[in-house]
Amino acid sequence: MGTDLQALYRLMLRSRRFEEAVTKLWEAGKISGEMHLGVGEEGVVAGVVAHLRDGDAMALDHRGTPPLVMRGVDLALLLKEFLGRSDGLCKGMGGHMHLFSAQHLAASSGIVGSSGPLATGFAMAAQYLHPGNISVAFFGDGASNQGMLLESFNLASAWQLPLIFVCKDNTWAIATQSPKVTGGDITDRARSFGLEAAEVDGSDVEAVYAAAGHLIERARDGDGPSFLLAHCPRLEGHYLGDPLRRANMMELAGPLMTAFVAQPGASVAERAYSLGTLLSLVGKTTVEKNWRRHDPLDKARRKLQSQKSGLDALEKEIEAEIRLALETAMMEA
């Protein structure tokens, strides 16, 4: 199974440029509410989606934009949905987290872990009605402790469903460091349910493509469900404007010490514990601000540098496509 790196880069770049356009709209106040981006996850998503074909289904989490963009959902319809327009993908009622495209057999939800049961339903339908088709569930490591996801592992294994569970592991569950609240190894946990399991560097799209290809083919052949753990960076925080990403230790030092000695309040031990926890969170996000070297797009582009003329044309083509989608979406309905 050969890898077309330029085709994978195209998928990732369309998603990145689209979400950059969404960011500008959000910053301009044209999109209300929180906005959760998939920046940094593109390598995981592209490596899986590149294997999908008509009739395959996707169950998505609250970062559903990259899979939908890569699967071919109309960009203008997505933008109109984010803008709350009645002519959007879901008539302006889904926002960016609760999206559905019947044409692409794709649905997303903001409920953590819910992609598991949804993908299980998709896979059961494929098994009975369309043998050879498969279902994919995308979720983050924070969802790995949700009961409904573990129940989905169990049913998928018991019924030998054509389903691939894809965990995008960035080590964060919103503002909690997930390893501190997760017992054992997630991959071992999946294996304990009888799932075939693999672990991969999610910032290397070729590695994801190879690992996902094996798991998807075995599912198509009727060999049952599997689990893919893909490590990836969280480049933009939990959501746009995430205060943890903006935190500055020098600016926080004064207020933190004032709060630490203020009276009345909790005991010194409790305050010390809370202060240590907060400093640990800020310290981790400070380190992650330098994670750009793990950007899946940068990694892929460096490998493609020998084809630079082709890359320039590709990038201009995608930029033009995004501009057209923006112009279309911003037109009056």
Residue 177 lies in a domain: yes
How many structural domains comprise the chain? 2
Question: Do residues 273 and 186 share a domain?
Answer: no
Question: Do residues 269 and 311 share a domain?
Answer: no
pLDDT single digits (tens) 166-190: 999 998 888 788 888 999 999 999 9
Question: Do residues 129 and 162 share a domain?
Answer: yes
Total-model pTM: 0.87
Residue 181 lies in a domain: yes
SS3 of 4, please? Answer: coil
Q: What domain range includes position 229?
A: 5-235+305-330
**Contacts of 133 by beta carbon, 8 Å cutoff, 6+ apart:** 53, 55, 56, 57, 126, 162, 220
**Domain CATH for 157:** 3.40.50.970
Question: Do residues 162 and 52 share a domain?
Answer: yes
Question: Do residues 130 and 249 share a domain?
Answer: no
**Contacts of 312 by beta carbon, 8 Å cutoff, 6+ apart:** none
H or E, element range at 38? none
Residue 293 lies in a domain: no
Question: Do residues 104 and 212 share a domain?
Answer: yes
Residue 298 lies in a domain: no
The predicted pLDDT at position 285 comes to 60
Question: Do residues 212 and 254 share a domain?
Answer: no
Question: Do residues 264 and 314 share a domain?
Answer: no
Question: Do residues 65 and 104 share a domain?
Answer: yes
Question: Do residues 269 and 177 share a domain?
Answer: no
Residue 299 lies in a domain: no
Residue 184 lies in a domain: yes
Low-confidence spans in the chain with pLDDT less than 50: 1, 333
Residue 46 lies in a domain: yes
Instruction: Report which DSSP code applies to 199.
Output: E
Question: Do residues 198 and 261 share a domain?
Answer: no
Residue 291 CA to residue 203 CA, distance in Å, equals: 11
Residue 140 lies in a domain: yes
The predicted pLDDT at position 99 comes to 95
Question: Do residues 180 and 279 share a domain?
Answer: no
Assess contact for 42 and 297: CB atoms under 8 A: yes
The predicted pLDDT at position 36 comes to 92
Phi-psi region of 34 (alpha: psi -120 to 50; beta: other; left: phi over 0): beta
